[in-house]
Structure 1
Amino acid sequence: MGFLKKTREGAILVLTMSQPETRNALTGNTAAEEFVATCAEVQADRSIRAVIITGEGPVFSSGGNVKDMQKYFQQQLSPETIREEYRQGIQRIPRALYHLDVPVIAAVNGPAIGAGCDLTCMCDIRIASDKATFAESFVKVGIVPGDGGAWLLPRAVGLSKASEMAFTGEALDAQQALDCGLVSRVVPAAELMDAALALARRIAANPGGVLRMTKRLIREGQQSSLESLLEISASYQAIAHMEPDHHEAVKAFVEKRAPKFS
């Protein structure tokens, strides 16, 4: 059985991590390969305007498979081998999601631990069930964030809160995650997917090409100077002004009707 279960609702793709027997762990399986392949498919499919990632069972994702980590010392693997395993394994997930231009919502149904917490930070928007918890818990098992968490988490909650989470390894409950801005909304567990789909529909109602360019601008803005971002924005805007969806939106505004995007 594969790791990602895919379901489609119009312009929305729902990805469900479907290995509850391992608490949807991201290592020791095909998770990285499937995320990379799926992101490539979504990037190429212009009909997809929003993606939701959630977990099957009571856990969103436990992150790295701790039992599987025993091989590193049992098999006396070299540091070079382990480093390459990270590069060719779990580190492919943040790369794939970061370069995906389609907006991604994390519907966090339960505990998001270690790399599972970081996976939520790879998404653009996070909605949490009231049963969700979040822990940057690598230090608790004597390792560092190997999946980009030291880059991702501070951008989600700020340097001070990210440092507190990473240095203590302690979990936040859903309300604490909301208070620090890690998630934008907390809903009852039974309402999580309805809330995520409702938000995805609001996003998908907008022109797909502009959504992709807007996400790319937000990504670029995290690491560019204002002057550089303004130049990219001007270029993207020139493209947007030539798009049929822009022409339809302006025409609909003038005619006082709802636009019909392609």
Structure 2
Amino acid sequence: MAAVPTLTDALLTLENRVATLTLNRHDLRNALTGSNLIEDIVTTAEWVNQCTDVSVLLITGAGSAFSAGGNIRDMANRSGDFAGDVAECADRYRKGIQRIPLALQNVEVPIIAAVNGPAIGAGFDLANMADIRIASENAKFGETFLNLGIIPGDGGAWFMQRLIGYQRAFELTLTGRVIDAAEAKVLGIVLEVVPAGELLDAASAMASRIASQPPKATRLTKRLMKMAPRMELEDFLDVCANFQGMCHNEPEHLEAVNKMLETMAKKK
């Protein structure tokens, strides 16, 4: 099994092709700024793409919160990531929190967010960067930037409207209201809502089901899913044809076909 990188403010494990990243700054409610979580998330994303032993990345939070987003005390003090004039602050965003959406958008394997508690501001956006979200009944979601007189500087406005449509994303962003897990499911933000004690089991079951699929075809399928919205159908079908040719020439394809034939034979 491939070596797992050592992180500073998060925990990373790999078991049965599922990498689990746990944000581990409960003292900061897993705030992404004012901690080393940005670096930890980017390091994990880069490692996942290089590690052929990983088929799914599962992200969750330790403690009561998934992530509180930005460190409000640093905002109040104009320190850390929020210090300096316009140019300096913008540069910190580019070199800091904006590395997360770029890194996660390029992750080659499916990403599941197990939202254990409040996902607020950039924490909400982090959850929306995943492919699937499963929420605890304790989860809450809020695009609360305007409540603090700032905008979603980490790309949240880009992700949310692609997830639930412009009008609803506009309403949540411009009102800054916080919604519970039940409403998040109705809006299509989360796939499932489960009791708090069952969250990791439910997310791990989903991750294990995906991780059981042929790994190379899984990565190619995610690439197709990401490419589809920005391509014309004819161009997209050309890519599909080439990817399919690659799949037909992979040993995992023949293994999967033979396994299916064996299953069919047993049912006769």
TM-score (norm 2): 0.92
- 1:54 matched to which residue of 2? 60
Runs of 5+ unmatched residues, structure 2? 1-6
- 1:33 matched to which residue of 2? 39
Return 246-255 or 20-29, whichever deviates more.
246-255
Give the conservation status (yes or no) of the 8 Å contact 1:72–1:82. Answer: no
1:66 CA displacement: 1.2
1:32 CA displacement: 1.5
- 1:94 matched to which residue of 2? 101
- 2:12 matched to which residue of 1? 6
**What is the CA–CA distance in structure 2 between the aligned matches of 1:257 and 1:34, rounded to whole Å?**
45
Deviations 1:147-167 (A, max 9, x none): 000100011111111001000
Picking from 126, 130, 133, the partner of 1:123 is 130
Alignment of 1:183-194 (within 5 A): 183-194=190-201
2:26 aligned partner, one-letter code: P
1:8 CA displacement: 2.2
Alignment of 1:77-226 (within 5 A): 77-226=84-233
Match of 1:25, SS?
Answer: coil
**What is the CA–CA distance in structure 1 between the aligned matches of 2:23 and 2:229, rounded to whole Å?**
28
1:69 CA displacement: 1.6
Percent identity, aligned pairs only, is: 45
Runs of 5+ unmatched residues, structure 1? none
Match of 1:222, SS?
Answer: helix
Deviations 1:66-102 (A, max 9, x none): 1112343899711010000000000000111100011
2:56 aligned partner, one-letter code: A
Return 66-75 or 100-109, whichever deviates more.
66-75
Give the conservation status (yes or no) of the 8 Å contact 2:83–2:89. Answer: no
Deviations 1:150-186 (A, max 9, x none): 1000111111110010000001100000001000000
**What is the CA–CA distance in structure 2 between the aligned matches of 1:73 and 1:245, rounded to whole Å?**
52
- 1:242 matched to which residue of 2? 249
Q: Flag as ranges the 4+ runs of structure 1 deviating above 4 A.
A: 73-76
Give the conservation status (yes or no) of the 8 Å contact 2:31–2:69. Answer: yes
Give the conservation status (yes or no) of the 8 Å contact 1:27–1:64. Answer: yes
Q: 1:86 to 1:133 in 2, by over 3 A?
A: same
In the alignment of these two chains, the number of paired residues is 258
Return 34-43 or 84-93, whichever deviates more.
34-43
Give the conservation status (yes or no) of the 8 Å contact 1:134–1:172. Answer: yes
2:16 aligned partner, one-letter code: G
**What is the CA–CA distance in structure 2 between the aligned matches of 1:125 and 1:151, rounded to whole Å?**
17
**What is the CA–CA distance in structure 2 between the aligned matches of 1:36 and 1:76, rounded to whole Å?**
22
Give the conservation status (yes or no) of the 8 Å contact 1:13–1:50. Answer: yes
Deviations 1:91-136 (A, max 9, x none): 0001111000111100000000000000011100000000101001
2:69 aligned partner, one-letter code: G
Tell me how large the CA RMSD over aligned residues is.
Answer: 1.7
2:135 aligned partner, one-letter code: A
**What is the CA–CA distance in structure 2 between the aligned matches of 1:140 and 1:190, rounded to whole Å?**
32
**What is the CA–CA distance in structure 2 between the aligned matches of 1:126 and 1:182, rounded to whole Å?**
7
Give the conservation status (yes or no) of the 8 Å contact 1:51–1:102. Answer: yes
1:247 CA displacement: 1.0
1:34 CA displacement: 1.3
Return 2-11 or 173-182, whichever deviates more.
2-11
